[in-house]
Structure 1
Amino acid sequence: MTINKAIEYAINSITLEFENYIYKFNELTGLAPKFFAERNWSAMHENQRRRLRIYKDFVRVCVLSLEENLKPHIESKEFWKEAKIQYSANISARKDKELAETFFNSVIRKAYPNLEINENVMFVHEGYDTCDLHPVDSLYHSYPSSWGLQKIIRKIIEDFDFGVPYLSKEEDIQYLVKAVREVILTRYEPTQDTITQVLKSVFYRNKAAYLIGRTRVGGKWMPFIIPFLNGPSGVYVDTMIFDPRIMAHMFSFSRSYFMVEVEIPSLMVSFLNAVISHKQVHELYNAIGFNKHGKTEFYRDFLIHLNESKDQFTIAEGILGMVMTVFTLPSYNIVFKLIKDHFEPPKNMTRQEVREKYKLVSLHDRVGRMADTHEFENFHFPLDRVDPRLVEEVRNTTNSLLVIKDNKMIIKHLYTERRMIPLNIYLEHCSHEDAKQAVEEYGNSILQLAQANIFPGDMMTKNFGVTRQKRVIFYDYDEIEFLTDMNFRWKPKAETYEQIYASSPWYDIAKNDVFPEDFKRFMIGRADVKEHFWEYHKDLFNPDHWVEMQNKIRSGEILHAFPYPIAIRFRPNEEI
């Protein structure tokens, strides 16, 4: 095959599989309204997992085709340089061209192993910032202030028909009217320029559907989110959210991605970027389900930050892990995690088993309590920006992943994750009141994970982090298991002298046996909040409570993890 024919074949193959991916992505996303209307929550979760898997499947099909037909060419930089030029021209009119660029990058990284990031053959700096501007009228519904508040709210409800009877539509309308009056109209006077915009696309996740909008009033945009739930008696508005901190948390790195129909990704992200404060572009792509492009945008952001900063990569604060070597750039809120070559006792797993745990988390509902990660291969760091002590630590712990070449430290495999303050360090320095809140959050995190069928395994405080909003998140996944695979037991009572004074447990302990009564020995070390924690989370130490959660999961009960405070619900006791 001539080089021109080979380039044409490569471009056609990549384009075809990208279009197949987008078609399947949209097909699965389009099922969310149906599952919401049917209250088919297990199908909703499985559909989410299916959508997360498909990207790699289509990349793999494409790479296999290229390897089979273009073997002499696919490890030639000149070949890919020309292919990029022609592919870029071919996708220039696409409304999702930034996603097409990322798909091209994914294919070349798999087809051309060990290729470093190369601007000539990959899309390194294009992406979101180079997307074409598109008319925004089709993105949202508009409601002028001249209609009056009652009519605006009624029209919003009318425009979003979930195909299910309402629990009480008129009551919902009045709840929303009251919320707007209390939050917006007590502070601002509407004018003829006041207008409300609501995205036409509904955001589905878990058991909820969300409308996202904004109102131009008082010379600025006031964003809002309206969650809908579908209970046994019908659909109802659960609350109306104006607090930007709550909205940011709803798009948090610890939450699963939304199922939302998106025609022009960059346009959707642009709107969200103006509404959801404190969220970067890559986080918003993640949130709407394009996590592979979110990974690309993250890397671009990292390169820009690297160019604009001068500090050095250093070992991350906290107790050194037995499974992971973790480092960070102090000026950047990300940690880099490497699986060690050898694990110290009592850890007895393999590197592949650890990778499987991280994969499990990526496909599971994170319920706001597990940090999202991105997985990278052959990640390059400028050696002059790496603290020599970190280089030595990497050599000592993950030498099989390390390559020093051309004044660069290359890590063959790593995960990136949002940096948080380790809970054990936070508790050493925070006030008494903050410590009480933190240990309450710590227990809440463990219990909410359990309700989502995740048992953290190693529940030491060093494996949890505290976010800027003082929320406690779990981030160490090497020992997680499904809750339903564990065997929670009361400790047998010693009855003989030999049993009472035995130097080791005198009763049999199987691999997955767990004794919650023992949790008190290690969970909280800070003396002034220990008793408070024991009392506030006394269920944690009761094996029967854990068994009860297991039974609920086995019976098919699925947790709805509210991403906002229960206290702001219009009907706090309504079933979902």
Structure 2
Amino acid sequence: MNENQASEVDTSKVARHFAYQVISGFDRSYRRHSRITAGAKERFEQSLWSESQLAIKDRIAVYEQSLSEIVIDLYEQVHPRQQESEFWQEAKAQYTKLLNNHPQFELAETFYNSVIGRIFKHAKIDETMMFVLPSRCYLSGPDREKVIYRFDTSGTVRAMHEAIFDTFRFAVPFDNLEHDLQNMDKALRARLDREQLASVHTVELLKPVFYRGKAAYLVGRICMPDETLPFVIALKMTLDHKLVVDALLTERHHLSVIFSFARSYFMAETQYPAEVVAFLQELLPHKKHFELYMSLGFYKHGKTVFYRNYLQHLDTSDDEFALAPGIKGLVMAVFHLPSYGVVFKVIKDEFAESKKITRDYVKDRYRLVKTTDRVGRMADTHEYMNFRFPKQRVSKELLDYLLETCQSSISITETEIVISHLYIERKMTPLNLYLQQEQDPIKIRNVLNELGLCIKQIALANVFPGDMLHKNFGVTKTGRVIFYDYDEICYMSERHFRSLPKSDDPYAIDTLSVGPSDVFPEQFEHFIVGKREFKEILKELHGDIMTAEYWQSIQALTSSGVIPNFTPYPEHYCFPRPA
């Protein structure tokens, strides 16, 4: 064997070892992720709601912890920075072989990408070195039987429901199973007429139970010859630790809200995530794959799938990136691709004088939201490093603005504009634009009611929104109001809510001793919404948010450790409890 052959053998051996180390690191990470997820059942049964919130944070932290551990090991054993390009190509080829028949192959690809990103500080996005594109297309079906139960519908509706609860067992008794079965029977018969009921040939339910907050969901579908409908059983615990069926949901838009981008990630334990996501996609065809992966807590892989979707969209569109509609932010530069459903947010180099915060503080606020129960009212955000945009697709106005406000984050090559750090969020209509454009008084009233509910529910989640200008709220296609500007949020305990002094002196407020944490809710009416007619509607519907007493009461509630329940479906769908 000559010297070159010996070198090739050595490179191949080291590359195999590198690939094995990475897959082993991924498997450890997934076991940790699964262990925390599997614990959701016990936390639900024992009503350990505080522990459930801690589990959200712990599970999000698992990925970065595992990644740091494996990169340290690799540096000690492989010395990756000393390797040539041939090594990285061989390492990827060896890793691809290890993915054959791996039940979480797609997540393992993302983990490999993260390792490469960490080693090269996200400076290289190269298909020869990492999985920019998937190693193979996943065709749903092979593992379908491993993730679903099928229930016989040839008998009565009641018999089917009884079979479901014989299959999904909990370590706590039902409060009144007979009453629950009657409610479910009545709800299903109200949704399907006699002919439809007779045509149902199967009910399928995913084996994982979907836990979030103070609820658990059995998620599946009703199969008929010409159509399928969602079939979701929502379960809750009583104060004396007994199980109740809270609702039976068969509308697709209800399922969509349950899987909303503004809610915390589910705890749903599975060894076959690709098959679970494929099944959910069949139930929610308008949801993209990356949204569903994120909803299951695989947010890192969701980012990978999003990036692939983004590249695909660039290939099939020709519009330009431009400044996002609405009032320019004081902290973030925000832009979009009009044909695409997200906005891109970049922290500015300098903030307006009114913003007494730092760049690191802004990043910390976004991390806080990531690990907080978003209760359906705070948009999920996704952080990216060295995100690339085709230079010819960026409008001159946008590029000039980015160079003026965010130059430290921008680098330009002959063909690309690279932003070193940005956030991506779902695109919504800014509330201020919505109110300018909408003429229907019923819709205006509904959206202002939604605004008040949004502020209140965020507060109940122990978060003070801070800057509550209506430009910082978005309106979804379904009319739901979501908060999306986080640079001034904090925990409720970090603010001192006070009443304005009663004085004949118009300058009395200037003579107060006002601390940096003081908030005067009576002033909210002057800036939450602009027009007097909007102020009056908001005051009529939610005037209490403009009083110190309201905020003090919520502050007392959150400091006591009480965790409210946030139901993601209309209250009138909740089954009545027997007297």
- Does the residue aligned with 2:60 lie in a helix, a strand or coil? helix
Per-residue displacement from partner, 1:118-166 (whole Å, max 9, x unpaired)?
A: 1111112216833675242232221222122121011112221221111
Are 2:380 and 1:372 equivalent residues in the alignment? Answer: yes
Amino acid aligned to 2:221: R
Residues 285, 294 of structure 1: 8 Å contact kept:
yes
1:402 alignment partner, one of 406, 410, 430: 410
Q: Deviations over 1:340-371 (max 9, x none)?
A: 01101111211111000000011111000010
**Corresponding position of 1:48:** 56
1:277-326: CA deviations, max 9, x gaps? 42111111111111111111111111100100000000101101110001
SS at match of 1:113: coil
TM-score by length of 2: 0.95
SS at match of 2:335: strand
Which of residues 204, 223, 232 is equivalent to 2:230? Answer: 223
Structure-2 change in CA distance of 1:529 and 1:247 (3 Å): same
Q: Does 1:531 align with 2:530?
A: no
After superposition, residues 246-261 of structure 1 pair within 5 angstroms as: 246-261=254-269
CA contact (8 A) 1:251 1:287 kept: yes
What residue number does 1:266 align with? 274
Q: 1:207 aligns with which of 198, 210, 214?
A: 214
Secondary structure, counterpart of 1:238 in structure 2: strand
Range 525-534 or range 88-97, more displaced:
525-534
- Aligned equivalent of 2:420: 412
1:565 aligned onto 2:570:
yes
Aligned counterpart, 1:160? 168
Aligned CA distance change for structure 1 residues 111 and 72 (closer, same or farther; 3 Å): closer
| Superposition pairs of residues 105-254 of structure 1, within 5 angstroms | 105-126=113-134, 129-130=137-138, 133-186=141-194, 188-191=196-199, 194-233=201-240, 234-254=242-262
Q: Whole-Å Cα distance in 1 between the matches of residues 568 and 416 of structure 2? A: 41
Aligned to 2:506: 500
Instruction: Give 1:544 shift.
Output: 1.1
Q: Does the CA contact (< 8 Å) of 1:190 and 1:218 recur in 2?
A: no
Taking structure 1 as reference, are residues 127 and 335 closer, same or farther at Cα in structure 2, changes over 3 Å only? Answer: farther
Does the Cα contact within 8 Å between 2:140 and 2:278 map onto a contact in 1?
no
Preserved CA contact (<8 Å) 2:80 2:119: no
Alignment of 1:334-345 (within 5 A): 334-345=342-353
Partner SS for 1:188 = helix
Q: Which of 426, 440, 458 is 2:449 aligned to? A: 440
Return 5+ residue gaps in structure 2 as ranges.
1-6
Distance 1:230 1:420, change over 3 A: same
Give the 5 Å matches for 1:69-84: 69-71=77-79, 73=81, 76-84=84-92
Q: How does 1:280-359 map to 2 (within 5 A)?
A: 280-359=288-367
Mapped contact 1:427–1:526 kept (Cα < 8 A) = no
Amino acid at match of 1:478: D
Give the deviation of 1:500 after TM superposition: 2.8
- Structure 1 stretch displaced more, 108-117 or 52-61: 108-117
Larger deviation: 552-561 or 364-373? 552-561
- Find 2:553's aligned residue among 523, 542, 548: 548
Residues 1:132 and 1:525: Cα distance change in structure 2 (over 3 Å): closer
Match of 2:17 in 1: 9
In 2: Cα distance, 1:75 partner to 1:106 partner = 18
* Aligned-CA RMSD value: 1.7
Residue in structure 2 matched with residue 392 of structure 1 by the alignment: 400
- Distance in structure 1 (CA, Å) of the matches to 2:471 and 2:84: 46
Do 2:237 and 2:244's aligned partners in 1 also have CA atoms closer than 8 Å? yes
Q: 1:135 to 1:353 in 2, by over 3 A?
A: closer
Deviation per CA, 1:223-269: give whole Å up to 9, x if none. 12110001124110001111111110110110101000112111101
Q: Distance in 2 between matches of 1:317 and 1:78?
A: 46
The AA in structure 2 aligned to 1:137 is E
State the Cα deviation string for residues 10-34 of structure 1 (Å, max 9, x = none). 2122112101101101110110000
Deviation, 1:185, is: 2.9
* Contact 1:325/1:397 (8 A) holds in 2: yes
Call closer, same or farther: CA 1:22–1:562 in 2, change over 3 Å.
same
Question: Residue in 1 aligned with 2:497?
Answer: 488
Q: Give the conservation status (yes or no) of the 8 Å contact 1:210–1:227.
A: yes
Asked if 2 retains the 8 angstrom alpha-carbon contact of 1:67 and 1:74, the reply is: no
Q: Supply the distance in 2 between the matched residues of 1:552 and 1:401 (Cα, whole angstroms).
A: 41
Name the CA distance, whole Å, in 1 between partners of 2:112 and 2:80: 19
Task: Output the CA distance in 1 between the equivalents of 2:530 and 2:116.
Answer: 50
CA distance in 2: counterparts of 1:150 and 1:113, whole angstroms: 58
What SS does structure 1 have at the residue aligned with 2:233?
strand
1:103 to 95, 108, 111: 111
Q: Is the 8 A contact 1:75 1:112 kept in 2?
A: no
Deviation at 1:73, TM superposition (A): 4.0
Residue 464 of structure 1: which of 466, 473, 476 is its match? 473
**Equivalent pairs: percent with the same residue?**
38
- For residues 403-441 of structure 1, the C-alpha deviation after alignment (integer angstroms, 9 at most, x for no partner) is 101310000011110010000000001122111111111
Q: State the distance in 2 between where 1:132 and 1:424 align.
A: 43
